Structure 1
Amino acid sequence: MDVYTMEETWGVTQGEGVTVAVIDTGVDGSHPDLTGQVLKGKDFTGGGDAQEDVEGHGTAMASLIAAHGHGADNADGMMGIAPKAKILPLRVLQNDDDKLLDDEWATAVRYAVDNGAKVVNLSLGDEGGKTLRVGREAIAYAQDHDVLVVASSGNEGGAVGYPAALPGVLAVSAVDENGEFWGSSGAGKEVDLAAPGVDILSANPTNPKGYDLSTGTSDSAAIVSGAAALVRSKYPDLTAGQVANRLIKSASFLGKKGLKAPDDKYGYGVLRPNKAVTMDIPKGPKEGPLGKLPSDTASKAGGSEAGEKNGASGNEDSSSSSNLPLVIGGGVAVLIVIGVIFAVARGRRG
């Protein structure tokens, strides 16, 4: 099934006019597949450069969202989901063994909102505890300012990690090339969507070849962020909640039997970018189906203590200072899903 054949979709929208914030290890804007796409951004790790990425993870996520290829007719390299979206790099980690601090990523979320991002990608998380107040308040701030936050569900095979588990955050698990659930994905009632996350090709400035393969929910979250950019570009009048509604209502279980939405592994189904921008889907309520953190979260704890995600009706086809290591779901790769190579490693001459 050509779920991720993108040429038809790019005839409708390529993410023009939408900025996606990538809160991660920085983004190397000099990579040939990302030139011109990466804004200056900001470093929150101690005065460095947001376009320095010694780990490579942030660049990988940015490429899945907005890579445009290179060379004659951009026939070399790879393409992301939304090749005309802009990337706002916000560096909160330098290496994958750095501690992920809530106050740093929370400050980055607020910066993203204040500097024009319409989608925030959090391909990171804390799988050992709940988000501190500063993080919950930052997510609530994004929600109050019509910014969609997308986060990875985690890679330890247990419960959905934070901040993905927070109400209003679009939590994403991973599937393989056959649309089968990747067993190490975080799973639970908080999962909203699944997307490709196994053997994914993406840009990697730390690899001499410039590319790499990886596996994890980091990749699947970035892919959903790219699709969100497509929807926000095509339907600029939709709220963040209504964008989430389109992504959810256009998802599918891809013919799998015995699943009922929402499913703990797949949520409302596997993301289908083309259907998300072309299906006839009513706008729905402004707040969308994901629930919402209260604006005043001062006395609330994460997860259920801060409210639960609201139910969403899929279509019938959808038949701490967090002092723990960053979970960077494997890092890199153009989507191979349902047997179709997606974020196109076209004509990879070298």
Structure 2
Amino acid sequence: MALTGALLLTSAPVASADYVRDQQWMMDVYSMPETWGETKGEGVTVAVIDTGVDGSHPDLAGQVLKGKDFTGGGNPQEDQAGHGTGMASLIAARGHGSGNADGMMGIAPKSKIMPLRVLKSESDRLLDEDWGAAVRYAVDNGAKVINLSVANETGKTISAGREAIAYAQANDVVVVASSGNEAGAVGYPAALPGVIAVSAVDKNGEFWDGSGAGKEVTLAAPGVDVLSANPVNPKGYDISTGTSDSAAVVSGTAALVRAKYPDLTAGQVANRLIKSASFLGQKGLKAPDDKYGYGVVRPNKAVTMDISKGPEAGPLGKVPAEATSKAGGTGAGEDDGTSESGNSSSSSNLPIVIGGAVAVVIVIGVIFAVLRGRRS
């Protein structure tokens, strides 16, 4: 089991507010200020099951709840790896300074983050029992969305993980997970029925070929050259590539939908995310596509389109409550192509390597501009 986000972390000098906001190309192509006129995710708690979340980061001030540590007596608001804080910032960062004009913004800046720490560092191992316990805690303590930017790519999750996902689904909680970063099959828990499995695309809406792909993919979202908060970096931010980032974007969008439409079930939230997604002009694709699923998530359309509720169970199904699965293969997989944390599921351990630098090019793709939606 491995973290899936910071595939390629750069130490680009993040020196000014203008620079930080300029790097957030998603805010432009997603027309987020317009979307926030509809909702900012108020009243919704998103559980981030990860390396902890540093609530002292200025862009997350007041956004991080108490949470819980599952690593053995640690602090859920301590993040030695930076990964969990990055995911939380993509979901709920609210900027800082006068008028919150400095720093970065998340997709749902009035949602709250429940930090559930299941890893401390890159060399830690992650057991299904640990993240499964975190899922149950999230459900029992009011989370409406759970973000799992981790994946086991070499074997199926064991019963503890499956049963925890089934518990979340039985209690009307949206579960979002990254598809993986090893360019192979979709990892677990993303591959479980009912989980919103997310692959990554770049600024132009092109599929990132490091993403896990397969029939289990539900949606794609931005995951290439994505800026996020990182308390480990002296500058406070990093730019990364991986499906961890794309999963967090979808979790933030789910928070917007839950805030705007509080009467929808988790399944109906998934239905709205799916029905409002788009292939962005990609030719010859038929939903669900192994790479894009039902398309690239579009936050603005997810909260503004006229979409029928659909069945309460939604289109994705659920994990059978009684279902269990043997721990297949080694049980360790890396959803992080070259991410930042190594973990293992159940029986094995796979270290994560923080990759080399990538050039940052702020170019808004013509195709991705479809995300703004055409005005008739």
Q: If the TM-score is normalised by the length of the shorter chain, which range does it land in?
A: 0.7 to 0.9
Q: In structure 1, how many angstroms separate the alpha carbons of the residues matched to 2:132 and 2:86?
A: 21
Is residue 123–residue 352 contact of structure 2 (8 Å, CA) maintained in 1? no
Q: In structure 1, how many angstroms separate the alpha carbons of the residues matched to 2:268 and 2:349?
A: 34
Q: In structure 2, how many angstroms separate the alpha carbons of the residues matched to 1:119 and 1:321?
A: 24
Q: Is 1:164 aligned to residue 212 of structure 2? A: no
1:96 Cα shift? 2.2
Q: Is 1:289 aligned to residue 289 of structure 2? A: no
Summarize the Cα distance change of 1:326–1:162 in structure 2 as closer, same or farther, 3 Å threshold: farther
Equivalent residue for 1:199? 225
Summarize the Cα distance change of 1:104–1:328 in structure 2 as closer, same or farther, 3 Å threshold: farther
- TM-score, reference length from structure 1: 0.88
Equivalent residue for 1:128? 154
1:128 Cα shift? 1.2
Secondary structure, aligned partner of 2:150: coil
Summarize the Cα distance change of 1:302–1:46 in structure 2 as closer, same or farther, 3 Å threshold: closer
Q: In structure 2, how many angstroms separate the alpha carbons of the residues matched to 1:324 and 1:177?
A: 33
Q: Is 1:71 aligned to residue 94 of structure 2? A: no
- TM-score, reference length from structure 2: 0.82
Is residue 327–residue 346 contact of structure 2 (8 Å, CA) maintained in 1? no
Q: In structure 1, how many angstroms separate the alpha carbons of the residues matched to 2:269 and 2:203?
A: 25
Structure 2 letter corresponding to 1:81: I
1:337 Cα shift? 6.4
Q: Is 1:53 aligned to residue 74 of structure 2? A: no
Is residue 146–residue 174 contact of structure 2 (8 Å, CA) maintained in 1? yes
Is residue 89–residue 105 contact of structure 2 (8 Å, CA) maintained in 1? yes
Structure 2 letter corresponding to 1:296: E
Is residue 101–residue 321 contact of structure 1 (8 Å, CA) maintained in 2? yes
Is residue 13–residue 234 contact of structure 1 (8 Å, CA) maintained in 2? yes
Equivalent residue for 2:7? none
Aligned length: 321
Structure 1 letter corresponding to 2:54: D
1:338 Cα shift? 3.9
Equivalent residue for 1:255? 281
1:253 Cα shift? 0.3
Equivalent residue for 1:39? 65
Structure 2 residue corresponding to 1:324, chosen from 328, 338, 349: 349
Structure 1 residue corresponding to 2:265, chosen from 239, 244, 258: 239
Secondary structure, aligned partner of 1:277: helix
Structure 1 letter corresponding to 2:269: V
Structure 1 letter corresponding to 2:76: A
Is residue 19–residue 85 contact of structure 1 (8 Å, CA) maintained in 2? yes
Structure 1 letter corresponding to 2:62: G
Q: How does 1:138-177 map to 2 (within 5 A)?
A: 138-177=164-203
Identity %, equivalent residues: 77
Runs of 4+ in 1 over 6 A off after TM superposition: 326-330
Summarize the Cα distance change of 1:208–1:275 in structure 2 as closer, same or farther, 3 Å threshold: same
Equivalent residue for 1:113? 139
Structure 2 letter corresponding to 1:109: V
Q: How does 1:7-22 map to 2 (within 5 A)?
A: 7-22=33-48
1:326 Cα shift? 6.9
1:323 Cα shift? 2.4
1:99 Cα shift? 1.3
Summarize the Cα distance change of 1:50–1:18 in structure 2 as closer, same or farther, 3 Å threshold: same
Range 287-296 or range 277-286, more displaced: 287-296
Q: In structure 2, how many angstroms separate the alpha carbons of the residues matched to 1:287 and 1:114?
A: 20
Indicate the RMSD between aligned Cα atoms, in angstroms. 2.1
1:328 Cα shift? 9.6
Secondary structure, aligned partner of 1:33: helix
1:95 Cα shift? 1.0
Give deviations 1:11-66, integer Å, cap 9, x for gaps: 00000000000000000000000000000100000110000000000000000000
Structure 1 alignment gaps of length 5 or more: 304-319, 342-350
Structure 2 alignment gaps of length 5 or more: 1-25, 329-344, 370-376
Is residue 152–residue 220 contact of structure 1 (8 Å, CA) maintained in 2? yes
Structure 1 letter corresponding to 2:117: R
Summarize the Cα distance change of 1:337–1:271 in structure 2 as closer, same or farther, 3 Å threshold: farther
